[in-house]
Amino acid sequence: MSTEHDTVAAAEANADAVRDWKHWHERRTESVSAPYGPLSLKGTHWLADHPEGELPELPGRWAETPDAVVLTAGPGDGLTLDGRPVTGEVRLTADSGPVADARVAHGGRRLVVIHREGLWAVRDFDPGAPARRAFTGIDATAYDARWAVPGRFTPYGEDRTVTVGNADGKERGLGLGGELAFRIGGVEHTLQVTVEGDGSLWAVFADATSGTSSYRFRFLRPAAPDAEGRTTVDFNRTLLPPCAFADHFLCPFPPPGNTLATEIAAGERNLLDR
């Protein structure tokens, strides 16, 4: 009787996991295709590359100082700050909230000020971007329980920073907080991971499908480990990085040791072709 009961309980748990994954995939598709989702990013303009202050396809003059961006515009430029026309000179700091709430707008576009490694840039999010219009969905493998396995997180004695290549061709530091160990198909694997502010983990990894049946690298975001370092490594929820949706994101490549020899045929794999 107990065996039959266990079988039924396992089937119900799997059905719940399948439903949860479908909802996750639907929400994810809605998020990336939203008016100001990653598909709408048309450009990231580093002010250091434009000392004259003119940015491609953007009105006004933009200049950087050590602690702010100075925007100068007139009534004819059509720029607004907090919903009001920009007429004259304004100082801008980095936008940290949702893109839709960016302080500077040009019609339906949102111009997001960012600050990275001492440099200032302006990101141009346009709901009418060609990539958003062409989007038909994300190629994702259906839920399979064998890709959700127990994991154990071991923190480093102190945070480490490694230099890795980025999607824009430059090298930058990637902070790492520990190692995540797990078994797939009876084989032990480890990934170096970043610890986020809420305690959750973030891994940038590649595997034997990368660059062939999957994007060249992907993200994994396990939940915060418990007091003993236990968490679930669920590759069903593997994510495409932002640069899979637009070329103007600064996605880091996997750090040394984060290229798995096995095929992770799970989660988000690529964008669907039109």
Q: What is the pLDDT of residue 273?
A: 83
CB 204 within 8 A of CB 215: no
Angstrom distance (rounded) from CA 132 to CA 109: 13
Concatenating the DSSP letter of every residue in the chain gives -HHHHHHHHHHHHHHHHHHHHHHHHHHHHHHHTSTTSGGGEEEEEEGGG-TTSPPTT--SEEEE-SS-EEEEE-GGG-EEETTEE--EEEEE----S-GGG-SEEETTEEEEEEEETTEEEEEEE-TT-HHHHH---EEEEPP-GGGEEEEEEEEEEEEEEEEEEBTTS-EEEEEEEEEEEEEETTEEEEEEEEEPTTS-EEEEEB-TTBTTTB-S-EEE-PPPP-TTSEEEEEGGG-B--GGGT-TTS-PBPPPTT-B-SS----EEEEEPP-
The rounded Cα 50 to chain-centroid distance in angstroms is 27
Q: What is the pLDDT of residue 12?
A: 73
CB 170 within 8 A of CB 60: no
Phi, psi of 158 (to 5 degrees): -150, 155
Q: What is the pLDDT of residue 42?
A: 95
Residues of the chain with pLDDT under 70: 1-2, 4-11, 274
Q: What is the pLDDT of residue 266?
A: 98
Q: For 204-254, how does the pLDDT look when each residue is reduced to its tens digit (9 = 90+)?
A: 999 999 999 999 999 999 999 999 999 999 999 999 999 999 989 989 999
Q: What is the pLDDT of residue 31?
A: 96
Angstrom distance (rounded) from CA 234 to CA 195: 17
